[in-house]
């Protein structure tokens, strides 16, 4: 059933408008005894920055609630914990929220959180859920009642009619990737011998959405960067040796092994090595690491304003530098320019009687073009047609591949 729904909502995505505020609010809901097997309730929560949904959850509760009010109270505690975590994240952006609003559709749950008399009747609930009362007393959290019809968090606790999904916005994007890498057998590593520390910080999806919401709130233009072969750039602290890969054995030294200076895919410490490499570079160039989120780096100027490139017209995605690199790599940067990536008169086929060419070099060119198709839709068809003949390429096929490169030479600055 879920797949049937997805089939009709393939291009449904989040939409962050820059025309609204940046106030941190939360919505909490619970479905009492929603699990038919254990009769445990389901907690649902949604957290907003202005009208930008940046965090949500749907989780079966650990305890068994004895009433709807208790289930809602446990859900309120979970929502409170999440908004407090988000508040600490937002301090890296210069925001300090002294009062956060949480909306709940249960007056009884709100009473338990605010009224000491009501609170004394819930001592059988685990102590870890009662911290919300302390934040309500401090004024950090304010609880408000909202009617069920306006409860946004119920999307994460129960099945809803179709009209509750109509506010979602649509957009479409396609990325094509096709790459091959040399991978180390990391499962054979032993801690203390060729492995010391493998943990690396990873951004939570909520932290990423907070960043996106902040950008749209400020009207910034965001640029996305993808570092090529990230796991190959990290410097290793340990002594790691690997055998020569099959098919690439040195004829003069067939039994020798390699000592790695940089990480390879498959090494357990590869992600950590890359994080250390990148963070060191950023810190040396004036960036500051986030006090809460160690994957967030910011650079501020004297006026204490975060500077990001701005443009009111939109975002432009371009790979001109990469085009220049591959043209130079394959010595096609001086070839004649053509106006189309594929001649409409040419009909490619297997060409079984044609002169064969080096299949490895042919596949290398196809791989370079496939990576470029992520921003150059005009070469997608021509590249895919030529890619069909990678098994046994001939001069006829290679001619068409070179034509694509000749077309790229005249359209270097094109993009999305």
How many other CB atoms sit within 10 Å of the CB of residue 95?
17
Question: Over 80: is that where the pLDDT of 197 sits?
Answer: no
Alpha helices in 129-204 (DSSP H): 131-138
What is the reported pTM?
A: 0.48
Range(s) within the chain of domains with CATH label 3.30.420.10: 2-170
How many other CB atoms sit within 10 Å of the CB of residue 7?
8
Q: What value does the mean pLDDT of the chain take?
A: 77
The average pLDDT across 63-92 equals 88
pLDDT tens, position by position, 18-67: 666 788 999 998 888 877 667 888 888 888 888 888 888 888 888 888 88
Question: How many whole angstroms separate alpha carbon 135 and alpha carbon 114?
Answer: 10
Residue 394: per-residue pLDDT: 93
How many other CB atoms sit within 10 Å of the CB of residue 319?
20
SS3 170: strand
Nearest to residue 414, comparing CAs of 345, 312, 340, 329? 340
pLDDT band of 362, cuts 50, 70, 90:
very high
pLDDT band of 175, cuts 50, 70, 90:
very low
Stronger pLDDT, 116 or 406, i.e. the higher one: 406
Nearest to residue 74, comparing CAs of 151, 137, 145, 127? 127
pLDDT tens, position by position, 251-265: 888 888 888 888 877
Question: Over 80: is that where the pLDDT of 221 sits?
Answer: no
How many other CB atoms sit within 10 Å of the CB of residue 383?
24
Contact 68, 123 (CB under 8 A): no
Find the distance separating the first CA and the last CA of the chain, reported in whole Å: 35
Stronger pLDDT, 183 or 395, i.e. the higher one: 395
Is domain 2-170 annotated with CATH 1.10.1040.10?
no
Contact 52, 20 (CB under 8 A): yes
Stronger pLDDT, 139 or 127, i.e. the higher one: 139
Residue 366: per-residue pLDDT: 92
Question: How many whole angstroms separate alpha carbon 25 and alpha carbon 102?
Answer: 6
């Amino acid at each position: 059933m879920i797949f049937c729904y997805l089939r009709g909502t393939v291009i449904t995505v989040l939409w962050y408008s820059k025309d609204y505020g940046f106030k941190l609010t939360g919505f909490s809901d619970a479905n009492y005894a929603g699990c038919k097997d254990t009769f445990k309730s389901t907690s649902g929560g949604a957290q907003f920055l202005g009208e930008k949904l940046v965090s949500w959850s749907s989780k079966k509760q650990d305890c068994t609630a004895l009433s709807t009010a208790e289930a809602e109270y446990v859900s309120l505690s979970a929502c409170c914990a999440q908004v407090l975590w988000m508040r600490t994240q937002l301090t890296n952006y210069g925001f300090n929220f002294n009062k956060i609003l949480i909306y709940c559709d249960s007056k009884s749950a709100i009473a338990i959180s605010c009224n000491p008399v009501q609170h004394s009747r819930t001592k059988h609930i685990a102590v870890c859920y009662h911290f919300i009362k302390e934040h309500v007393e401090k004024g950090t959290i304010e609880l408000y009642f909202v009617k069920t019809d306006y409860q946004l968090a119920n999307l994460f606790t129960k099945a809803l009619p179709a009209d509750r999904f109509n506010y979602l916005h649509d957009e479409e994007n396609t990325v094509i990737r096709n790459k091959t890498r040399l991978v180390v057998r990391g499962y054979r590593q032993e801690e203390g011998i060729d492995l010391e520390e493998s943990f690396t910080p990873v951004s939570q999806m909520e932290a990423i959405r907070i960043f996106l919401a902040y950008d749209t709130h400020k009207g910034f233009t965001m640029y996305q960067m993808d570092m090529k072969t990230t796991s190959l750039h990290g410097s290793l602290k340990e002594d790691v040796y690997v055998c020569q890969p099959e098919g690439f054995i040195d004829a003069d030294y067939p039994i020798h092994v390699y000592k790695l200076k940089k990480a390879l895919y498959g090494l357990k410490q590869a992600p950590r090595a890359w994080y250390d490499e990148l963070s060191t570079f950023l810190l040396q160039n004036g960036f500051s690491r986030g006090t809460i989120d160690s994957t967030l780096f910011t650079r501020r100027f004297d006026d204490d304003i975060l500077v990001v490139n701005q443009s009111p017209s939109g975002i432009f995605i371009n790979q001109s530098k990469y085009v220049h690199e591959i043209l130079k790599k394959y010595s096609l940067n001086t070839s004649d320019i053509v106006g189309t990536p594929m001649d409409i008169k040419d009909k490619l086929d297997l060409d079984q009687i044609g002169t064969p060419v080096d299949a490895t070099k042919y596949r290398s060119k196809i791989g370079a073009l496939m990576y470029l198709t992520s921003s150059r839709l005009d070469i997608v068809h021509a590249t895919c047609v030529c890619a069909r003949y990678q098994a046994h390429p001939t001069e006829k096929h290679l001619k068409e591949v070179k034509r694509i490169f000749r077309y790229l030479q005249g359209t270097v600055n094109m993009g999305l």
